[in-house]
Amino acid sequence: MMALADITRDPLFIRLQPWTVFMFYAGTAFAITTHRIFDARQIVLVGLQKLILVVAVACAAYVFDWALRTFLPEPFGFIATTALVLGLAVTLNGWLDRMFHFYPEATAARQAAFAAAQGESHVNKLESAFVAVLKGWGHSETALVMSGVKGPLQGGGLDLPDDGAVMRAMLLLGWATPERLARERLTPDRQALQEFLDANGLGVLVMVEGPSLKALIGVGIAASRRPFTYPQVNQLQELASIIENALERAHFSVKAQRAEQLATVGLLGASLAHEIRNPLVSIKAFVQLLPNHYQDPVFRDKFFHLIGDEVMRIDRLTEQLLDLASPRVYSAQLIELNTVLNSTLELVVAKATDKQIQFITDFQAKPDRVHTDASAAKQVLLNLCFNAIQALEARGGERWVRLSTRNLPNQVEVTVEDSGPGIAPDIRPRLFQPFQSTKSSGFGLGLAICSDILTGLNATITVDPAVPGRGATFRITFPCQA
């Protein structure tokens, strides 16, 4: 418009210049908000990050220059200021990238993925953490993490059959972008994959397969709307390997917890059968006497009360057994710890009595409300109690297990102590690692699983140092608040 005004000298073109500028910016705003040429939110975040960086570096340069000129010659002050400002700019830029969850460098994204893998053990929480890392790496508003073990892949609210068209295409390609699919000959499977990418707004999708787990890792269209390059695909494949390893470990952890849960139920089976048999014998005896004493009101009254009490006892025991056997995802909530301890004792006291082992209780914690999962706490306490019973079985003399509680600042501590032989010094440092056992049978997973369960609930488990003549002492601390 300016060129036309210079050539023709027509004032009309001069008057049209503001309108042309206005139409240009209006069209740009329309494209940003409707046609997704740019991601407005991501552009604003990037601009804000750079603005903070520029302002901070400028202020630092002014302060450094003013301070250094007071005792250094001007050339040396300038060099020192430049060096300090450059170092500050590099450090601040990395800090801002982490604060805004931007990972422009593959190394930073890998470090963030490793940190997420080490910080979480639950599958759902891991997926959420990895989605945040992928969004930052790709400068995108969307990311997808789906995984499955010998079945459909799930994640992000989606369910994808492992033998469907999308998975068949990904098994063949390994990775896919809309640009790659557009260049290659479309087959029915690749057409389904293209529709999957479009429906979920993905700019790149990679598949990684482990020994037992398959995972699909996708990142949405970048803020710049540029297609993902092959080096970026390689970076995403590296991130996908980290994600797959962490998810596979989490799935194995869930399976191990389930196996330990069922093993505990198996140990309880014999003792609970004995506990259930006793009230049944009482009920049977009263039923046999009922025809001859039905007219006796004292007998009838005693009979009715006994039946109710004994049936409630059987119902309570079976309910606890079923609760222990049912698969669950542990979630913390406020519970009364003494109630959990008493129900745990009810399950193990029969086995202890059969082995002539005395259980001693000393519950001093008042109040005893803690923020944890009742089933998880019971699972851990049962494991420790059974370990103590097994350690005392072959031991002569006085045999006892003591459960005690006490209040700590914002915590309640549970102590499980026994009069057994204690723990060998060579095993103690790695006691809570997998495949470490003081028994001749079993795989040594019990205490490792207990530690994982408690860590997920912000609780801790420790063992006291060895003391000559004393058995093992385990301490569990439960938080009183979330």
| CB contact at 8 A, 472 and 391 | yes
Within 10 Å of residue 231's Cβ, how many Cβ atoms? Answer: 9
Q: pLDDT for 258-289, tens place per residue?
A: 666 566 666 566 556 655 666 676 677 677 77
Q: pLDDT for 235-259, tens place per residue?
A: 899 899 999 988 888 777 767 666 6
DSSP string covering 403-450: EEEEEETTEEEEEEEESS----TTTGGGTTSTT--SSSSS-S-HHHHH
pLDDT confidence of residue 280:
72
pLDDT confidence of residue 188:
92
Return d(Cα 269, Cα 37) in angstroms, integer: 65
Average pLDDT across the chain, whole number? 79
Q: pLDDT for 393-406, tens place per residue?
A: 878 778 899 999 99
Kind of pairing, strands 333-336 and 369-372?
antiparallel
In percent, how much of the chain has pLDDT > 70? Answer: 77
pTM: 0.49
Q: Nearest 5 degrees, angle CA 96-CA 97-CA 99?
A: 60
Spatial neighbors of 383 by CB under 8 A, at least 6 apart, are 260, 264, 446, 447, 449, 450
Q: How confident is the model at residue 12 (pLDDT cuts 50, 70, 90)?
A: confident
Asked whether residue 7 carries a pLDDT value surpassing 90, the answer given is: no
| CB contact at 8 A, 473 and 280 | no
Average pLDDT over residues 117-131: 81
Domain range 330-482, its CATH number among 1.10.10.60, 3.10.620.30, 3.30.565.10, 3.30.2350.10? 3.30.565.10
Return d(Cα 324, Cα 340) in angstroms, integer: 13
Which one has a higher pLDDT value, 151 or 475? 475
Most confident of 202-211, 291-300, 328-337: 202-211
Looking at domain 119-250, does it have CATH number 3.30.70.260? no
Q: How confident is the model at residue 39 (pLDDT cuts 50, 70, 90)?
A: very low
| CB contact at 8 A, 83 and 61 | no
Average pLDDT over residues 459-474: 87
Sheet holding 202-209, edge to edge: 158-160, 153-155, 143-148, 214-220, 202-209, 175-176
Q: Tell me if domain 119-250 and domain 330-482 are identical in fold.
A: no
Average pLDDT over residues 208-215: 87
Q: pLDDT for 140-188, tens place per residue?
A: 889 999 998 888 898 888 889 988 999 999 999 999 999 899 888 889 9
Return d(Cα 211, Cα 149) in angstroms, integer: 10
Ordered by start, the domain boundaries in the chain are: 2-99, 119-250, 330-482
